[in-house]
Amino acid sequence: MKVAFFNTKPYDRQSFNVANEQYQHEIIFFECHLSHETVSLAAGFAVVCIFINDNLNAEMMETLAQGGTKLIALRSAGFNHVDLAAATKFGIAIVRVPAYSPFAVAEHAVALILSLNRKVHRAYNRVREGNFSIEGLLGFDLHEATVGVIGTGRIGAIFARIMNGFGCQLLGYDVYQNSDCLELGMKYVSMHEMFAKSDIISLHCPLTPESHHLIDSDAIAQMKKGIMLINTSRGGLVDTQSAIDGLKSGAIGYLGIDVYEQEADLFFEDLSSQVIQDDTFQRLLTFPNVIVTGHQAFFTSQALANIAETTLSNITDFERSGNCVNEIKREKAIASNAKK
């Protein structure tokens, strides 16, 4: 099929060209984001392929439909950046990559925990400057620390397994209990109990209207003083201003984030020669106990290969049958039947 590929980075082009040797779709790579200004480039393309920071609203969906687009192929698991109701209205199917490497994201969450706890980011700079003082670098044993996991799906369960390996006590909060987590000894508790008992909380649930600003000033007030908060899921789960207030008061002792509410204007681009205009983001960077990475948790070679393979296979399924197991509408129907 003819695919308009937006938001192309060199690593995307490389992984998709390799995977496409098998599928032979006609891919045109555009470096620009999909936006109001660029949506006309997709005219005549049956498939539009986008990433998480290509926000696709109803107006753009209508333009795509008028240009003959039948399928949006997301190169991501999350789909909070796409107006699903508008897609249905304009007869456009949406497919996604539900899992490409849950290990990549879970391992990155652990990397943030270890770095924040043992202050690796500060030690790295000190040693390079010939400062071998260890004052201020005091950490704590992860062994027997209580770790709260919000969202115990694919990534949350792998994260729990790794933390179990450190000898942590596991608390879980989810709509459904995961048997793999129960086998590890995870105790499912209320959100309030998790906040009150956890030394570390890691977010692994999707961003939905219900989970928007799940971590706000009320939530932070219920947490153990000096909590370590990790977010590798979606920026909108955390109210950034509340997190800043929590860091200033000491309520939050450590913050590790790979995602940020307003990241679409920042992440994945080299802005090192520009003045960043987002004062909230800049304030976050001033804290010694905050580590921000730019949405790189997924970024492993295995994940890139899996994203390319699943995206192209989704497109082929759609071309052959008009159906795809990874179509979002279809996934929802299967999930709701399974729950009946």
**Shortest Å distance, C-beta 32 to ligand NAD:** 22
Q: Is 154 in the site for ligand NAD (CB under 6 A)?
A: yes
Contact characters 48-87, ligand NAD, x per CB under 6 A = -----------------------------xx---------
Smaller CB separation from ligand NAD, 153 or 256: 153
The one segment of 125-133, 146-154, 269-277, 326-334 that binds ligand NAD by CB under 6 A: 146-154
Segment 189 to 248, residues that bind ligand NAD, using CB under 6 A: 204-208, 210-211, 232-234
Of residues 12, 258, 309, 327, which one binds ligand NAD by CB under 6 A? 258
Determine the residue with CB nearest ligand NAD: 153
Q: Is 132 in the site for ligand NAD (CB under 6 A)?
A: no
Separation between Cα atoms, residue 74 and residue 93, nearest integer Å:
11
Catalytic annotation on 161? no
Catalytic annotation on 234? yes
Return the C-alpha torsion angle 165, 171, 175, 176, nearest 10: 50
**Shortest Å distance, C-beta 156 to ligand NAD:** 6
Return the C-alpha torsion angle 291, 293, 294, 297, nearest 10: -140
**Shortest Å distance, C-beta 137 to ligand NAD:** 27
Which of 182, 184, 162, 183 is CA-nearest to residue 174? 182
Question: By rule CB under 6 A, what count of residues binds ligand NAD?
Answer: 31
Contact characters 263-292, ligand NAD, x per CB under 6 A = ------------------------------
Catalytic annotation on 263? yes
Return the C-alpha torsion angle 260, 105, 205, 218, nearest 10: -50
Smaller CB separation from ligand NAD, 69 or 240: 240
Q: Is 152 in the site for ligand NAD (CB under 6 A)?
A: yes
Smaller CB separation from ligand NAD, 70 or 295: 295
Catalytic residue list: 234, 263, 295
Chain residues that interact with ligand NAD, rule: CB under 6 A: 77-78, 99, 102, 105, 150-156, 173-176, 204-208, 210-211, 232-234, 258-259, 295, 297-298
